[in-house]
Amino acid sequence: MTDTQFIPNPAPQPTNYLDEQFWENCANKILSFQCCHDCETWRHIPRFMCANCGSPNWGWRESHGRGTVYTWTVCHMPMSPHFEKDFPYAVLVVDMEEGVRITAGLRELDYRELKVGLPVEVIFEPLEGGGYLPFFRPRKEA
Ligand SMILES: [Zn+2]
Protein backbone atom coordinates (compact mmCIF):
# COMPACT_ATOMS: atom_id res chain seq x y z
CA MET A 1 0.00 0.00 0.00
CA THR A 2 1.36 3.42 -0.92
CA ASP A 3 0.87 6.64 1.00
CA THR A 4 -2.01 7.66 -1.25
CA GLN A 5 -4.03 4.46 -1.01
CA PHE A 6 -6.38 4.28 1.91
CA ILE A 7 -9.01 1.79 2.85
CA PRO A 8 -12.33 3.56 3.40
CA ASN A 9 -13.63 3.68 6.93
CA PRO A 10 -15.66 0.60 7.72
CA ALA A 11 -19.40 1.05 8.02
CA PRO A 12 -20.93 0.35 11.41
CA GLN A 13 -22.27 -3.18 11.74
CA PRO A 14 -25.42 -3.15 13.88
CA THR A 15 -25.51 -6.07 16.27
CA ASN A 16 -29.29 -6.16 16.82
CA TYR A 17 -32.45 -4.13 16.36
CA LEU A 18 -31.51 -1.84 19.24
CA ASP A 19 -28.47 -0.25 17.62
CA GLU A 20 -29.78 -0.75 14.07
CA GLN A 21 -32.15 2.22 14.47
CA PHE A 22 -29.36 4.34 15.94
CA TRP A 23 -27.26 3.83 12.79
CA GLU A 24 -30.26 4.30 10.50
CA ASN A 25 -30.87 7.66 12.15
CA CYS A 26 -27.18 8.56 11.73
CA ALA A 27 -27.54 7.68 8.03
CA ASN A 28 -30.10 10.50 7.95
CA LYS A 29 -27.74 12.80 9.88
CA ILE A 30 -29.85 12.51 13.02
CA LEU A 31 -28.22 11.82 16.34
CA SER A 32 -30.76 10.06 18.50
CA PHE A 33 -30.88 8.23 21.78
CA GLN A 34 -33.34 5.94 23.45
CA CYS A 35 -35.72 7.52 25.91
CA CYS A 36 -37.95 5.76 28.42
CA HIS A 37 -41.68 6.30 27.74
CA ASP A 38 -42.49 5.91 31.42
CA CYS A 39 -39.93 8.08 33.24
CA GLU A 40 -38.43 10.16 30.38
CA THR A 41 -34.86 9.03 31.17
CA TRP A 42 -32.53 9.12 28.16
CA ARG A 43 -30.07 6.32 27.71
CA HIS A 44 -27.13 5.31 25.57
CA ILE A 45 -25.86 2.70 24.61
CA PRO A 46 -29.15 1.15 23.47
CA ARG A 47 -30.66 -1.31 25.96
CA PHE A 48 -33.85 -3.31 26.34
CA MET A 49 -35.04 -1.72 29.56
CA CYS A 50 -34.71 1.48 31.56
CA ALA A 51 -31.98 1.46 34.22
CA ASN A 52 -33.93 4.12 36.15
CA CYS A 53 -37.40 2.57 36.41
CA GLY A 54 -37.09 -0.88 34.80
CA SER A 55 -39.66 -0.14 32.09
CA PRO A 56 -39.38 -1.99 28.78
CA ASN A 57 -41.23 0.88 27.01
CA TRP A 58 -38.98 3.15 25.02
CA GLY A 59 -38.58 5.09 21.82
CA TRP A 60 -35.99 7.09 19.89
CA ARG A 61 -35.68 10.83 20.38
CA GLU A 62 -33.59 13.25 18.43
CA SER A 63 -30.70 14.77 20.35
CA HIS A 64 -29.90 18.47 20.21
CA GLY A 65 -26.42 17.29 19.22
CA ARG A 66 -24.71 19.43 21.86
CA GLY A 67 -22.50 18.40 24.73
CA THR A 68 -19.21 18.94 26.49
CA VAL A 69 -15.99 16.96 26.44
CA TYR A 70 -15.86 14.60 29.42
CA THR A 71 -12.55 12.96 28.47
CA TRP A 72 -10.63 11.67 25.47
CA THR A 73 -7.81 9.48 24.31
CA VAL A 74 -5.38 10.02 21.46
CA CYS A 75 -4.55 7.13 19.16
CA HIS A 76 -0.96 7.54 17.96
CA MET A 77 -0.86 4.28 16.04
CA PRO A 78 -3.70 3.11 13.83
CA MET A 79 -5.10 -0.13 15.15
CA SER A 80 -6.70 -0.73 11.77
CA PRO A 81 -5.55 0.23 8.26
CA HIS A 82 -8.93 1.95 7.87
CA PHE A 83 -7.74 4.79 10.06
CA GLU A 84 -4.16 5.26 8.81
CA LYS A 85 -5.12 8.47 7.05
CA ASP A 86 -6.38 10.02 10.29
CA PHE A 87 -3.78 9.31 12.95
CA PRO A 88 -2.92 10.60 15.36
CA TYR A 89 -6.57 11.19 16.17
CA ALA A 90 -8.62 11.82 19.29
CA VAL A 91 -11.60 9.81 20.41
CA LEU A 92 -13.89 11.76 22.73
CA VAL A 93 -16.31 10.82 25.43
CA VAL A 94 -18.96 13.54 25.32
CA ASP A 95 -21.51 14.41 28.00
CA MET A 96 -24.62 15.21 25.98
CA GLU A 97 -27.21 17.78 27.10
CA GLU A 98 -29.72 14.91 27.33
CA GLY A 99 -27.66 13.35 30.12
CA VAL A 100 -26.07 10.47 28.21
CA ARG A 101 -22.47 9.92 27.17
CA ILE A 102 -21.33 9.01 23.68
CA THR A 103 -17.97 8.13 22.18
CA ALA A 104 -17.01 9.62 18.82
CA GLY A 105 -14.09 11.12 16.93
CA LEU A 106 -12.93 14.75 17.03
CA ARG A 107 -13.02 17.04 14.01
CA GLU A 108 -12.00 20.66 13.30
CA LEU A 109 -9.67 20.97 16.29
CA ASP A 110 -6.11 19.88 17.01
CA TYR A 111 -6.34 17.30 19.80
CA ARG A 112 -3.60 19.19 21.68
CA GLU A 113 -6.15 21.99 22.20
CA LEU A 114 -8.74 19.75 23.86
CA LYS A 115 -9.98 20.71 27.31
CA VAL A 116 -12.34 18.99 29.72
CA GLY A 117 -15.68 20.77 29.48
CA LEU A 118 -15.12 22.08 25.96
CA PRO A 119 -18.54 22.70 24.34
CA VAL A 120 -18.92 20.53 21.24
CA GLU A 121 -21.58 19.75 18.64
CA VAL A 122 -22.19 16.76 16.45
CA ILE A 123 -21.43 16.70 12.75
CA PHE A 124 -21.79 13.81 10.34
CA GLU A 125 -19.30 12.56 7.79
CA PRO A 126 -20.28 10.32 4.90
CA LEU A 127 -18.98 6.80 4.60
CA GLU A 128 -17.78 5.67 1.23
CA GLY A 129 -20.20 2.75 1.23
CA GLY A 130 -23.17 4.87 2.33
CA GLY A 131 -24.37 6.11 5.67
CA TYR A 132 -22.83 8.65 8.01
CA LEU A 133 -20.70 8.57 11.15
CA PRO A 134 -21.10 11.10 13.96
CA PHE A 135 -18.11 13.20 15.00
CA PHE A 136 -17.81 16.19 17.30
CA ARG A 137 -16.31 19.62 16.68
CA PRO A 138 -16.01 22.69 18.89
CA ARG A 139 -19.45 24.30 19.21
CA LYS A 140 -19.97 27.22 16.85
CA GLU A 141 -23.14 28.53 18.48
CA ALA A 142 -24.04 29.08 22.11
ZN1 LIG B 1 -37.72 4.70 32.89
Residues by chain with Cβ below 5 Å of ion ligand 1 = 36, 38-39, 41, 50, 52-53, 55
Rg (CA), the chain: 16
Q: Which residues does 39 contact at the CB level (< 8 Å), separation at least 6?
A: 50, 52, 53, 55
Q: Tell me the pTM.
A: 0.88
- CATH numbers and ranges of domains, the chain: 14-62 (no CATH), 64-142 (2.40.50.840)
| Per-residue confidence (pLDDT) for residue 3, from 0 to 100 | 47
| Per-residue confidence (pLDDT) for residue 7, from 0 to 100 | 54
What is the whole-number distance in angstroms between the Cα of residue 15 and the centre of ligand 1? 23
Q: Which residue has the higher pLDDT, 13 or 55?
A: 55
What is the whole-number distance in angstroms between the Cα of residue 112 and the centre of ligand 1? 39
Give the model confidence (pLDDT) of 37-60 as tens digits: 999 999 999 999 999 999 999 999
What is the whole-number distance in angstroms between the Cα of residue 53 and the centre of ligand 1? 4
| Per-residue confidence (pLDDT) for residue 29, from 0 to 100 | 96
Give the model confidence (pLDDT) of 77-92 as tens digits: 877 777 777 789 999 9
pLDDT at 68 over 90: yes
**How far apart (Å, rounded) are the C-alpha atoms in residues 134 and 79?**
20
Q: Which residues pair with 88 in a beta bridge?
A: none
What is the whole-number distance in angstroms between the Cα of residue 32 and the centre of ligand 1? 17
